[in-house]
Every structure is written in structure tokens, then in C-alpha cells.
A and B are shown apart, each in its own frame.
Chain A
Amino acid sequence: MNLITRAFRSKGVIRLLSVPALIVVVVFFVLPCIVLILESFGWPEWSFSGYAKDLIDPTIATVMLRTFGISAAVTAIALVISFPYAYLMTQVSARTRIIMIAIVLIPFWTSLLARTFAWMVIFQANGPLQSLLGFFGIQSEPVLGTATGVLIAMVQVLLPFMILPLYSSLSGIDPNYLRAAAALGANGIQTFFKVYAPLALGGVAAGTMLVFIMSLGFYITPRIIGSPQQAMIGQIIAMRVDKFLDFGGAGVLSMLLVLAFLVTMLVLGGIVLIARRFKTTWK
């Protein structure tokens, strides 16, 4: 035991430990990404025609906007649902907390495909959801094949990715801060926005980014729950790969998706920076 600890203490050995992970990342992530980028430029030739064509394609623009719209909506709904849940998790007894974690994790461990098919069954015409609503006297159209269905299913699938980072950040907030705020005369709303929310921001940012990024790449859920009118960019990429064997064209769309995401983040980051500056000048 002593020997092992001593061996690990030498920095060289510790660095060596990261080699397997590095190899995996390079071989299974970096290299394929480079190949994808090269192919998107028509490798072994060199051309921008793929990009030029897709950038002016109105259908691509529609689907790209739809993809960002659905992802933003999913992220917002997931945040609104998750925050109170994660907060509650920090307030309850240890035993209740375990039950609450289990409620989050059990669906998380169930295959995405199984959950999506379950939603398909629930949403189908004359299915459980319609019967349930009908029982309460509500006549409704089937949700299968609609944007509502896609949103509900995607939020459910992605909820754990919001709740877990939120919980880990909320559970680290020292309740003494809140007591101090109250003692200094802040009411509940003030305490929440001035003290609690800023401390929770890290978890909110982590969860929001995770859910948003994962939503952008969603394929199977909109494909099965939605109709073609809810198609997201992943479905067009899949069509190019599977049906046209057009890996270059798929690469173009993937790069455009990444670029669009980066631009969005830059713009959002810029807005936050400007807002902060204004705030400080007001003070």
C-alpha cells in the first residue's frame, strides 16, 4: 500500500495515468471530428460549395431555427420544473431525499428508446392520455405528431440533466446566508433574488447548458413523437448519412450547428456582460 502511494506521488506516473483517457479522446473524438470537418470541405478537394448551398437553403434555415427554438423551450421548461424539485431535495430528510433521487435516476437509467416508445403509446390516438382527458370530460386531439408531444417527451428525457447539477449546486448553499439575509431585514423574494439565486447560478448555468446542448442534437424523440413538421436538424443529418451516404453534407450541417451554437453563446455572453456593466454603473 505504502509502495503504491509512493509510486503515485511521483508526478510522471500521475501524468501517465491520463494517457489512456487521452488516447480515447483523440482516437474516438478528435480524429473523427477532423475527418468530419475535412469532408465538409469536400476533402480531398477543397470547396465551400456545400456550405454555400446550405446557407442559402430556406428549409435548412427553417429547421435550424426550429431546432434552436425547441431546444430553448425544452431548456426553459426543464429549468422551471427542476428548480423547485432540486430545492425541495435540499430541504427534506435524508430518507426522503434518497426517494427523490431515485425518482430522478430510475428513468435516467432506462433506455432513451424505451422511454420514447412509451411516450408514443401514451400519446397515440385513443391512447391512455386521450382516455384520461376524456374521463374528465376534455375532448382533445391526439398529442402524437405534435410539437406539444415532442416538448413533453424531450423535457422528461432531459430532466435528470437539469435536476442533478442544480441539486449539487443548491445543496452547497449555506443556509446561514439565508438566515443572515432574513436577519438583515430582507423578505422572502429579496432573499431569493439577491442571495439564493446568485449562489445557485453555477448549477443553473451547468444544467441549462447540458440540456440545451443535448437538445440540439436530439434525433430519435422528435423523429418518433413528432411529425415531419417537427423535424430537427439531427434528422436531416441522419438522412444525408443514411440515405445519400453524403458524409460531407452531413459534416457541413454538423459544423453549421456547432457554429450557430457558438454564435448564440457569444451573443448571450455579450448580453450578460453588457447587463453587468450597466448594473455596476447604476450602483
Chain B
Amino acid sequence: MRKRVVLTALLTVSALALVGCSQGGSSGDGEGGSGDTTELVFSGWGGLVDETLTKTAFEPFTEDTGISVLLDSPLSSAKLKSMVESNNTTWDLTMANPVETTRYCEELYEPVDMTNINEDDFAPGTITKCGIPNNYYSTAMVYDKDVFGANPPTTLADFFDTEKFPGKRLFPSDALEFALEFALIADGVKPEELYPLDVDRALAKLDTIKSDLVFWQLGDEQTQPMEAKAVTMGIAWTGRGLQVAQNGGSFDVAWGTHIIGATQFAIPKGTKNFDAAMSLVEFATSPEPQARMNELMAYSAANLNAKPKLDEVQQHWDPLVGGASFDVAFLPDYDYWAENLEEIQTAYSNWAIG
């Protein structure tokens, strides 16, 4: 009996807490710009990116403007959609993928105000109507130096050659991490002729090594098998390769096999603090905070005027320094992806889980 009373009490309390949560959060009621904004709510991917941005951009921004930045991570597009649809947008700034800001521009995100942003400061094609890039990351072939010694794999064709280069291989489980692009390049398709993606051809190519693939979705699912030497090579984020190298791992990157992606800042539709959020984006993407971010994280500054001081290992793994700029690598076609996102991801995922 007493147990039941305690249980009832607990349930009531948790129910009240739930009601409380759903009520809270909506801060600020004015329509206005940055003038009357005292705080901004940011939702990012959590972890290292949030920590770094807090140090390099948010705290200095608060010192300058008096506007505090609250973190409400992790970000979820589904949550954002629910917020926007119920006219209750509590986030003022989020991180996003250019595919998302293209696909959901004006539906989930506000178009950015380009008045104080210089397009030439950023790599071509990385600014979208609803997103300003925060950094560039690259996905590339990495391999175990200890295993392959003097004859390491150098091309994506080598990645598919399991006789010459045996062992398990890391591979993305999400097509949006360019799984099909890598397969097609390995199969001889020229980077400039990749789009529209030939899904059947890519999957047929991937079929040849399917039993050797170890699929990843999260960053830790890349570092952990590399550090445990459970794989001999992989298609992985170079940022995670750097992390392994910094921890004394024996992995190296084959530059020239890489694809560069951008992550962006985007402003959720319906925010009451658009002007202040835009000021924060302008500040966070200016050279100084960008350089500091680049130094703390394994990602290149999106602002090409940023002058980060990187050590030797960082330089080697940096997509723009080690990867020798955008001439070698190539940027995915975000418009194509935005239009065909569902179809391609479903086809790839059906192949992977079937």
C-alpha cells in the first residue's frame, strides 16, 4: 500500500514536471531586433563542437553585446519541425547541413541576411539561401600504416581491392556521408559527372566488398575501431583520423580521395530574435573566432581569411592545408541532394539493411 502511494506521488510529480517543461522555454515576446534581445538559444550537435563554439564564439559575443547564449542541444530536425509547425520556435540558432538548409529553406529556416557577410570569404557553393558555413570537414580514405607499410593504398579503387589490401573497412551507413559518391569515383566516374547519382551502379560496386564493410554512423564508431585495430582502412572523417593520430594510433590519410563537406549555421523559422541571431552568425564566422575554432577542432575554418596556428599533425590532417584546397577535393551538389534526399537515402539504407 505504501509503495503504491509513493509510486502515485512519483508519477504525479513527473507528470507535473512534463507539463512544466512544455510550458517553459518560450522566452522574449517582442517582435523587434537585437535591440531588446537579452538572450539567444542555440541548439547544436552537442559535444566538442558546442564546447568549442562556446569558448571561441559565444562567450566573446556575450562580452561584446551583453546578449547571453543558452545551449539547448542536441539538435533534432524533427523537433525543429514540430516547433515551427506549432508556432513555438524556441531556438534562435542551430547547426545544419547545407542539404537541410537547401531542402527546408523558408520551411524550417529563415533566409540569411547577407548585408554584412562577404560571399568571397567562403568557399564557393557553401553559402546557401538559409545557411552560412561554420567549418569544412572532409571524408576520405584512411588506412593503417603498420599494416600496409611501404605500399599503402592511394586511390579509391584500392579501397575496393580486397586482395591487394585485405581487412575490414570502415564505411558510412548514411548515404549523406557520400557513400555512393565514393563508390562511383572508385568505379571510374569522373567527379564532375557524378550527379545525377547512378545509384544502381554504386550499389553494384559496393556489393563487391559488402562483407568486408564495418558501418559507422557516429564519430566514435570511427575512432574506436581504428584505435582497436579492428579495421585496416576506411572511409572516415579526417577529423576522427586526426583524433586517432593524436592518440598515438597508426592511421594515415590518403589525400586526393577526399570529399569536402560544410556545416552551417541556420536560423530557425519563426525566431523572435532574428537580428541578434544574425549578429551572432556574423561574429562567429569572422576570421578571429574561426581561427580559434580551427585550432581547437579538427575542422577547417569556413572563413578563408582565418589564420589558425596549427601544429604539424593538425596541418597534415586539415582538409584545407593537408588536403591542399578545393582543387583536389570536391564539394557535393547540395541542390541535387536536397531534391533527392529521401529517395537516395532510402535506396542506400535498403541496400545496407537488407
Instruction: Write the residues of chain A forming the contact surface with B, with a CB cutoff of 8 angstroms.
Output: 20-21, 23-24, 28, 58-59, 62-63, 120, 124-127, 142, 144-145, 223, 227-229, 231, 235-236, 239, 241-247
Contact = CB atoms under 8 A, between A and B. Distances in A.
Contact of B15 (A24, A144, A239, A247): A24
Contact of B11 (A21, A125, A246): A21
Given A124-B228, A127-B228, A239-B345, A229 B353 contact: yes
Contacts of A244: 341-342, 345
7 contacts: A24-B11, A24-B15, A126-B228, A243-B176, A244-B341, A244-B345, A245-B104
Contacts of A127: 228
A20 B229 contact: no
Nearest to B231: A125
A30 B229 CA distance: 49
Contact of A124 (B173, B224, B341): B224
Interface string B58-95: 00000000000000000011100100000000000000
Nearest to A232: B353
Given A63-B353, A228-B353, A20 B15 contact: yes
Contacts of B15: 20-21, 23-24, 28
Given A59-B354, A242-B78, A245-B78, A125 B230 contact: yes
Given A20-B12, A63-B353, A227 B228 contact: no
Nearest to B350: A59
Given A59-B350, A244-B341, A245-B77, A145 B12 contact: no
A144 B215 CA distance: 11
Interface residues of B, number: 28
A224 to B, nearest CB: 8
Task: Give the most central of A23, A24, A242, A243: most B CB within 10 Å.
Answer: A243
A228 B349 contact: yes
A40 B225 CA distance: 39
Given A125-B229, A245-B78, 16 more contacts: A20-B15, A59-B353, A62-B353, A124-B230, A126-B229, A127-B228, A142-B230, A223-B217, A228-B215, A228-B353, A236-B349, A241-B78, A242-B76, A243-B77, A244-B341, A247-B78
Contacts of B224: 120, 124
B48 interface: no
A5 B81 CA distance: 49
A195 to B, nearest CB: 30
Contacts of B345: 239, 243-244
A228 B173 contact: yes
A147 B15 CA distance: 37
A245 B81 contact: yes
B130 to A, nearest CB: 15
Q: Which 10 A-B pairs have the closest CB atoms?
A: A125-B230, A228-B352, A231-B353, A59-B350, A24-B15, A228-B353, A241-B78, A244-B342, A245-B81, A126-B228
Interface in B1-44: 11-12, 15, 18
Contacts of B341: 243-244
A247 B78 CA distance: 8
A144 B168 CA distance: 13
A62 B46 CA distance: 34
Interface in B145-161: none
Contacts of B77: 242-243, 245
Contacts of A124: 224-225, 228, 230
B354 A62 contact: yes
Task: Give the most central of B78, B174, B225, B341: most A CB within 10 Å.
Answer: B78
Nearest to A59: B350
A125 B231 CA distance: 9
Contacts of B297: none
Contacts of A239: 345, 349
Nearest to A223: B217
B214 interface: yes
Contacts of B342: 244, 246
A23 to B, nearest CB: 8
Contacts of A227: 214-215
A208 to B, nearest CB: 23
Contacts of B176: 243
A242 B75 CA distance: 10
